[in-house]
Structure formats: C-alpha cells, structure tokens
C-alpha cells in the first residue's frame, strides 16, 4: 500500500494484531487523526488507550503495519511489526 492511500483511507482499516495484542481493532478505535507524512511513515494522534500519544505508522506492499519505535536510521531497529491491515470496505 502506498503512503497516500494509507493517509486518505486509514479510517476504513482494521488492524489485525499479532503477539500479545492479537485482537482485531479498527484504527479509529485508537487513532484520532492523521497529521501527514513524517520520518518514513504517517504521524497519528492517539485517542482512548493512546490519548495524548503520537504514533508513526507505515505499511508495506503486503499491508503489514509497522510502528516507529526508535530513531537510529536503521529500519530493522526503528520499526516494529504490529500486525496487518484489512480494508473494511474492500476485504482482501
């Protein structure tokens, strides 16, 4: 998925989590708004459990969703896979 598509359509996505947080959650459950592109991803303002936080998320071509967790300029250390996205309007 390209960043522009993610930016425009993020409100229609469900995050299929992995690991300890393996629940399916619409992004709108924990993201308030998107401020646009920053540091290789999109900057989001959190709400509910993430109120007062900012999150930087990005997706790859296979709709895997990553959260920026560090700023080392090493993609292997800076991004953590948190799940994959499904479009509620167009399930794959």
- At residue 22, the pLDDT reads 64
pTM, whole model, 2 decimals? 0.88
CA dist., res. 37 & res. 20, Å (int): 28
The per-residue pLDDT for range 40-56, each reduced to its tens digit, is 999 999 999 999 999 99
Q: Where are the domains of the chain?
A: 3-87
Q: Above 90 in pLDDT, residue 21? A: no
The answer to whether 44 touches 35, Cβ cutoff 8 Å, is yes
Name the strands in the sheet holding 64-68, side by side, starting at the edge strand that comes first in the sequence: 24-26, 13-17, 79-87, 64-68, 54-59, 41-46, 31-38
Integer-rounded Cα radius of gyration of the chain: 12
Percent of the chain predicted with pLDDT > 70: 93
pLDDT tens per residue, range 66-89: 999 999 988 889 999 999 999 988
Transcribe 31-65 into DSSP letters: EEEEEEEETTEEEEEE-GGGTT-EEEEEE-TT-EE
Least confident of 17-26, 31-40, 71-80: 17-26
């Amino acid at each position: 998925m390209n960043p522009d598509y993610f930016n425009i359509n993020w409100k229609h996505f469900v995050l299929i989590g992995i690991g300890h947080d393996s629940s399916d959650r619409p992004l709108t459950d924990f993201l308030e708004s998107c401020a646009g592109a920053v540091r290789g991803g999109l900057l989001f303002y959190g709400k509910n459990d993430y109120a007062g936080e900012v999150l930087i998320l990005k997706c790859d071509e296979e709709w895997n969703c990553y959260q920026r967790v560090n700023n080392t300029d090493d993609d292997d250390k800076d991004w953590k896979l948190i799940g994959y996205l499904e479009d509620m309007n167009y399930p794959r």
